Amino acid sequence: MLVAGIDIGSITTEALIFEKGKGILGYTIMQTGADSKKTAELALEKALSFPSREASDLSYIIATGCGRKRAVFAQQAITEITCIAKGVNFLFPNARTIIDIGGQDTKVIRIDEKGRVTEFEMNDKCAAGTGRFIEVMAKALNVDLDKIGDLSLKHKKELTISSICTVFAESEVISLVSEGEELEDILYGIHKAIADRTLGLINRLGGIKNDVVMAGGVAKNIGVVKALEKVLGTKLHIYVEPQIIGALGAAIMAAEKE
């Protein structure tokens, strides 16, 4: 049974092809852009090219993410929290806590042994502590986004970014530059601020329960990962491609429709 999961996020869109007994056959990650409907269609087409299959070969498609209703070709739309939980449970059966940091929001999800969501906390009112926050800071400091995490690990001083608002934090970072603080130390402060903000969400759930898995595009940033591991006092488990977990969960749920 060939199925697909589509995760239409605010920044990126992921499409994944899945088959029972074989697992992931192909996937693609694209910038969502202004036309999420068109992007979802193109992402599915590209994902199908890996197993050399056609859309007509798909038995069921489930869409997720904030733009899930834009995938008019999908038979069902399911929230990203449910799909992320399902995907994580498939990859990490022992996981009980999920930290998902995407482009515009941060989610902390508690799941049971079957991958069912038992409770969650979500920060979607402000870009602070999200992928967008990192993008703004990288631009303000004129640093390549792909290098910002590695550079933060070279810090010698533990600076603190106290502002929780992206706009105010940017001003604070610019002030630190003008004061002559080292780039690596400022970058550490930025990553620590993200970790602290995420910790606040975790504390609302009463703390972590192991194993802890990190998903979402920000999981590719080693600076955030290390900062989180330090404040949490535990190792984070991360899949080789953390951005596709929502799409994977959607595809697995589609396969269960058989």
The lowest-confidence range among 78-87, 154-163, 175-184, 236-245 is: 154-163
Q: What is the pLDDT of residue 130?
A: 81
CA distance 6 to 249: 10
- Among 126-130, 234-238, 246-250, name the one with the lowest average pLDDT: 126-130
CA distance 63 to 83: 9
d(CA 82, CA 86): 6
Residue 220 has pLDDT above 80, yes or no: yes
Report the predicted TM-score, pTM, of the whole model to 2 decimal places: 0.93
Rounded Cα distance between 194 and 181, Å, is 19
Please give the Cα distance from 90 to 202 (Å, whole number): 22
Residue 125: the pLDDT is: 61
Quick check: 124 pLDDT over 70? no
Strand, coil or helix: 225: helix
CB 132 within 8 A of CB 103: yes
Indicate if the pLDDT at residue 164 is higher than 80. no
Between CA 128 and CA 201 the distance in angstroms is 13
Instruction: Summarize pLDDT for 187-205 with one digit per residue, the tens.
Output: 999 999 999 999 999 999 9
Beta bridge partners of 237: 213
DSSP state, residue 156: S
* Average pLDDT value for the chain: 93
pLDDT classification of 128: cutoffs 50, 70, 90: low
When pLDDT is cut at 50, 70 and 90, the band that residue 234 belongs to is: very high
134 vs 57: CA distance, rounded Å: 40
Mean pLDDT of all residues in 84-100: 98
Predicted local distance difference test score (pLDDT) of residue 127: 64
- What's residue 162's pLDDT? 78
Question: To which residue do tokens 């999981």 refer?
Answer: 219
Give the model's confidence band at 126: pLDDT under 50 very low, under 70 low, under 90 confident, else very high: low
Which residues are paired to 99 by β-bridges? 108, 214
Rounded to the nearest 5°, which phi and psi values hold at 170? -60, -40
The token pair that represents 108 in the structure block: 């902390």
End-to-end CA distance of the chain: 8
Among residues 97, 55, 53, the alpha carbon closest in space to that of 209 is found at 97
What domains lie within the chain, and their CATH numbers?
2-85+244-255 (3.30.420.40), 94-238 (3.30.420.40)
pLDDT of residue 165: 74
Q: What is the largest CA-CA distance in the chain?
A: 62
Per the DSSP assignment, residues forming a β-bridge with 119 are 110
pLDDT digits (tens, 9 = 90+) for 45-79: 999 999 999 999 999 999 999 999 999 999 999 99
More reliable by pLDDT, 115 or 172: 115
> How confident is the model at residue 60, as a pLDDT?
98
Amino acid, single-letter form, for residue 46? K
